[in-house]
Amino acid sequence: VIEQKWAVNREHLMLEKVLGEGEFGKVMQARLLTDKGLKIVAVKMAKVNRGGDAETAIQDLWSEFSLLKDVDHLHVIRLIGACSTNNELMLVLEYAEHGSLRNYLRKSRTEAVRHTIELDYPVSPRDILCFAWQISKGMAYLASMKLVHRDLAARNVLVANGNIAKISDFGLTRDIYEEDAYFKRSKGRVPVKWMAPESLADQLYTTKSDVWSFGILLWELCTLGSTPYPGLGPEKLYRLLKSGYRMERPDNCSQELYSIMLHCWKDSPSDRPSFHELALILDRMLADGVNYLDIFSLIVNNPGYIGCLESEEEDDETLASKDSVKEPGSQLCYPFTQSSCSFSTEYRPLKDPRLTSLKRGTGGRSSFSGDVVTVFGATGFIGKYLCNKLGKIGCQVIIPNRGDEYDVLRLKMVGDLGQVLFVPYYLRDDESLRKAMKYSTAVVNLVGRDWETKNFKFDDVNIDGAARIARIAKEMDVPKLIHVSSMNATEEPEGHILKNGSKNLATKWAGELAVREEFPDATIFRPSDVFGSEDRFIRNGSQTRIYH
């Protein structure tokens, strides 16, 4: 029975095209009629008239529905609702515009090969690391819900706009609230190359077996969607793993990143890290601003991991009978991996990779002063000049951005050696704010406009947002907070043009009090009028381009 909260009227659902199809089910793109108009969604359904296996698929779909009702996380696919007609269940899920992560990586790899001269790749090393971090956060959430995924792989992660990773395909997921492991008692085709040894041998599934799969997924990310264990059939895999064999480090991958894979592939489940620990490690690596991956090396010099583009359909060697894995072939052979990398990509790890420990140089933009400054609202008029000044004197500048980081290219930031870093954030999300201020020695808040938007009113930005930034800056032990207000901020502004006075100025004044309450030592500026290249009102009014 579908509760009223989740019930979707079948007449409001218009199926359009098939997004993916398997032996017992398929996913279709559809349009859902809502109170706010048509919305693009994904609809998952089981195929009918397929015998007993189809009945199992339908039961799995009901199980997935029951699980998704209780799941709510940014990096886990969201359930919108469900409908059931003629004993046919349809799950209505949020739509991920870019499809599966595996196909997204492979498409990016193909486009990059065609445009290697431009050195402008669709997926950057930071994107790869960010995908891994997002997936680890989503899996940490599932682990906290006592859920085991059992089929974590790049093909089962979706990519939404903004490169947001969404863990999906919960057909194999099981609730382990009553015990620490799930035993699969039925036979069938299983994702051998992503499975931990204990899962292959004893059909034992735990969160730590998901961690093993995460290590394989990390390898997929580093190789832009290649199939794991190249050249090795699944029937030989179990004995190789028990003998200690592990996939070699991809030539384009740093030792630091490969060491994470090896920790995920520890033979004993208890020796593997938790997803929470993995998220912390990847978060630190993202904050370091170091490229732990060489995309150029992968695309140009490593045909062994690229070869030709694999089919977007499921690889035949990906799935195998459980019996064929338990008793592998008589002869063991290690996979041969071709590599023509003509230069060394070995990384020399630092004992303390935090940039604040690398203060050096004689000053100027080619040196590092030891100051890490986070500038909120950097795309504004003052922010442009502030960030360039900070870059010129050797500061590392962290620029939190709400949209595409390429939108700020017009600012033409000055900075060398990766000193200008972009971090996605949302003003109402405490975790993203903590990430932006984690290593800061100073935080500057320039957020604010002279008008309200649909999503953010003056109170949201000037009071609540300012207080939240101040509170988290204090929580993260940031030594210096600079809050920029408005020259004429006052409690009760006079009404000149507006009858009741400027609400912007009133909330700016209230925001100063809120900041002072959260961060008593904050420095608050009330800037006077500033004239420059982006003062479009004055420039257009006077029809001039240059001021002296």
Distance from C-alpha of 406 to C-alpha of 329, rounded to nearest angstrom: 51
CB 152 within 8 A of CB 62: no
Distance from C-alpha of 445 to C-alpha of 20, rounded to nearest angstrom: 45
User: Which residues carry a binding-site annotation?
Assistant: 44
Catalytic residues: 151
* Side-chain-facing half-sphere of 302: CA atoms under 13 Å: 22
The pair of structure tokens assigned to 346 is 């070995």
The distance from CA 38 to its chain's CA centroid, rounded to whole angstroms, is 27
Query: Whose CA is closest to 230, among 255, 204, 250, 200?
Result: 250
User: Which residues carry a binding-site annotation for ATP?
Assistant: 44
Stated as kind and residue range, the H or E segment containing 541 is helix 536-542
Residue 232: CB atoms within 10 A of its CB come to: 20
Residue ranges in 255-380 assigned as alpha helix (H): 255-264, 275-288, 295-301, 303-306, 322-326
CB 510 within 8 A of CB 465: no
Residue 83 identity: C
Residue 189 identity: R
CB 390 within 8 A of CB 373: yes
Distance from C-alpha of 347 to C-alpha of 217, rounded to nearest angstrom: 22
